[in-house]
Amino acid sequence: VSSTAGIGFDICWDPDRSEILISYAASSKGYVVAGTISGTTITLGTATELVSQYCLNTWIVYDTVSDKAVFFTYEYDFVVASSYILMARVLTTGATPTVGSPTNLDTSTHSKLAASIDTTNNLILTTYRAAFGDGYYPKTKVGTISGTTITFGSAHTHHQGKCDYLTNVYHPYADKMLAVYNIEQEGDGAFADFASPTTLSTNLTADNYIGIAAEAIADAASGSINISGHINTGQTSLAENDIYYV
């Protein structure tokens, strides 16, 4: 695939052209190369350089609805973050691949990412590990492709704990995304949760919220509710490090 030392390999299938797309980083640059299979032989084309400098890792997925690939990289951003962050580019494949402008996935990200395609709603589901300032939490953003541009919605936090490994997959019959990740504070235990791709950033409404009262509230009176992500200090008789379900 590469005549120089390559890192950060990923691979996906382009069913529209019956090609395998391989992304990788080499000599701090980001590349994509297409391959075709005949029998037990794979023939690779000429690699296309998509990132010219400071690229350390890559991922790639193919969207069969828009007939385009999304090329993710962990690279240095000189414009916004002045640090290494995750970026995304829409890639039009074929004999002469073209690539759109880079989009920051998040200005506070780390080099852990998994992506899948929501074929029902035509969305790119991107689960990643936030950076130190964001607690290394596992998060997901939903991307929408328009032309050669990808736009991401707000981040959904799966768990408020440090994550080292993660992946995701889309279930088309249930129209749900399954995210799987470990949490260091929970003994590196594996966690999994389903989420609706279309409501990751808008799943809290006046009718579906759940929380714990911050204080005693009399019938018909108003008061504060601690929802997910907040700390409730009004509880007693709870054992330290135990998990309670409500």
Rama region for 81: left / alpha / beta (φ>0; ψ in -120 to 50; rest): alpha
Q: How far apart are CA 130 and CA 164, in angstroms?
A: 10
Tell me the pLDDT tens digit for each residue of 188-245: 788 888 888 887 743 444 454 456 676 676 666 666 666 555 566 767 767 665 555 4
Q: What is the pTM of this model?
A: 0.75
Local structure of 245: helix, strand or coil? coil
Higher pLDDT, 77 or 101: 101
pLDDT score at 143 = 94
Lowest mean pLDDT among 29-43, 142-156, 200-214: 200-214
Q: State pLDDT tens for residues 197-207.
A: 887 743 444 45
Predicted confidence (pLDDT) at residue 75 exceeds the cutoff of 90: no
Phi first, then psi, for residue 231 (nearest 5°) are -105, 130
Q: How many CA atoms lie within 13 A of 238 on its CB side?
A: 11
Mean pLDDT across the chain: 82
**190 dihedral zone (left: phi>0; alpha: psi -120 to 50; beta):** beta
In this prediction, what percent of the chain has a pLDDT beyond 70? Answer: 77
d(CA 229, CA 235): 16
Confidence class for position 80, pLDDT limits 50, 70, 90: low
CA distances from 47 to 22, 44, 102, 104, 205 (A): 9, 8, 19, 24, 47
pLDDT in tens, 64-73: 989 999 999 9
